[in-house]
Chain A
């Protein structure tokens, strides 16, 4: 911030306004400058900043002071910024708001947006360097010309050069990887096209293809990550892999399900199983496809989807009637219950407790009182 000098907001002869943007706050390095939010003006020669209230006391520095600029994206609660790296202030600089600064860069923070256009114009002016062609009448301390101040600013420029070199080297490694990746993708695309032509043949000759061949085709699709073009369903259902997986899950989930009242949300199962495996993890789709096979494999588990869309794995032994009866009993005993309270009673997750209460409600055993205090269930006495 010590690069700025006081000025009024009027342009000099030969100087033209390029763009202005309201709602800009200045930063000295990473620290907010002790100034209000103001307006940033870009001219052909200078960057000017002013607080609307104080027209005659604006701040400015010449564009020639700029080494390079960067964009800093905004985020939630954070405005986008432009970071401006500057040469050190020349000795004959006119006085400004700061006498010294530990930073060699400032930031413009755009609280009312406009950073994209401002950045574009600033980049343009820095490329055009119009200030060199038309020096303005009032002697503004340019300090560093395009060649002049370089020796003084060697430190900054040296660092900048290193960054550039590193970026180039990274680019080189990346471009080789991208090359290879592109070639790989060309081959993968051939596989996709081949699978489509096979799928078309299968579709046309429905019934003439053996079960075995269909299964084998499906496992090709699975290996390549291609969606099944015939049925459009998520690939993999009906492959040997998912068959094995289904049986494994049948064994593995028995005890955890018992511990949790016979029901677990699918996301819970996902975490449990993958944490246990440690590597060669299951994809969410693998899990869903394996669970879909419980019934056909006559395993004592079922995949169930509630009206809300929540998916659970359920022990077959824990029947619907039991769950509803238990919900009704508990609610009757306590007079009324919320999902949270029910969850505490049974040691279940709130999500699943809620589903049970909703189920009992659906069957007509409970009724609800829905207020801002929460959703509470009562026995249905009608």
Chain B
């Protein structure tokens, strides 16, 4: 009976006042939580995971903006945004060597090194979340599942399923040959060559045509971790667990 004549303005205003009030209440709850547990978030990667997953479940992105409550009061924002900077810098520094592809392990190690001994602990989950945020800036950041972990891509090189599967094949030894591809994947030679050529062009693979037997295509992203431990390619191919 009262419906007609009640302007939308009035309803909107009431709702708006309600939201305003709720926001203030929530803010104070968050402040209380922060005062008790801010340290926990800083120090405990597991807790961060829980926190992130809960936010995702209810439809909240605590990392969307530096101006968000979560960021301002819990300090989660600065933690991940700074990590983003460090990730970009590591990837940029190594790009000439690995073409813009790096294992998550190596990225993790180098980021930790760059942060120094007294910095907060950073887990691989933290890196993955920071990388997901970087995607929005359009530089081709992505993750490719390989051998139980990931390769992090930081260039806009197009990598389709064929490329990915060859990378996965190369993971064990750090290199791959045309014969291995043909055998393992049951491909024709042309398809294998096409994929390998693309990887060479993008600077993701290097060709060792002097290798005994057959030409080997090395992925610097995969063997740079090994070479940093002074393991020769031959030793690498008899790689230990």
Number of residues in B with C-beta < 8 Å to the partner? 81
B65 CB–A CB distance under 8 Å: yes
Chain B residues positioned under 8 Å from A305 (CB to CB): 138
Contact B156 A310 (CB under 8 A): yes
Question: Which residues of B29-61 have CB atoms within 8 Å of chain A's CB atoms?
Answer: 29-30, 33, 36-37, 40, 44, 46-47, 50-51, 54-55, 57-61
Contacts A180-B36, A201-B11, A225-B63 given: A74-B148 contact, CB under 8 Å? yes
Contact A198 B15 (CB under 8 A): yes
Which of under 10, 10 to 19, 20 to 34, or 35 or more describes the interface residues of A?
35 or more
Contact A187 B133 (CB under 8 A): no
A275 CB–B CB distance under 8 Å: yes
Contacts A25-B241, A198-B15, A285-B65 given: A279-B78 contact, CB under 8 Å? yes
B233 CB–A CB distance under 8 Å: no
Contact A241 B137 (CB under 8 A): no
Contact A225 B70 (CB under 8 A): yes
Chain B residues positioned under 8 Å from A281 (CB to CB): 66, 77-78, 81-82
A111 CB–B CB distance under 8 Å: yes
Contact A270 B54 (CB under 8 A): no
- A271 to B: closest C-beta gap in Å: 5
Among B111-119, B139-147, B178-186, the one that faces the other chain is B139-147
Question: Which residues of B59-75 have CB atoms within 8 Å of chain A's CB atoms?
Answer: 59-72
Contacts A223-B67, A283-B64 given: A372-B137 contact, CB under 8 Å? no
Contact B51 A285 (CB under 8 A): no
Please report the C-alpha to C-alpha distance between residue A32 and residue B240 in the assembled complex, in whole angstroms: 9
Chain B residues positioned under 8 Å from A222 (CB to CB): 64-65, 67-68
Contact A283 B15 (CB under 8 A): no
Mask for B190-224, Cβ within 8 A of A = 1, else 0? 00000001001100000100000000000000100
A269: nearest chain-B partner, CB-CB: B137
Contact B65 A283 (CB under 8 A): yes
Task: Give 23 A-B contacts (CB < 8 Å), ordered by A residue.
Answer: A74-B148, A111-B241, A174-B40, A181-B54, A184-B33, A190-B22, A194-B18, A220-B19, A222-B67, A223-B27, A224-B69, A225-B62, A227-B61, A266-B139, A271-B85, A280-B72, A282-B66, A283-B133, A285-B65, A350-B95, A371-B201, A372-B200, A374-B201
**Which residues of B does A touch, CB under 8 Å?**
8-9, 11-12, 15-16, 18-19, 22-23, 25-27, 29-30, 33, 36-37, 40, 44, 46-47, 50-51, 54-55, 57-72, 77-78, 81-82, 84-85, 88-89, 95, 103-105, 133-140, 146-149, 155-156, 171-172, 174, 197, 200-201, 207, 222, 225-226, 239-241
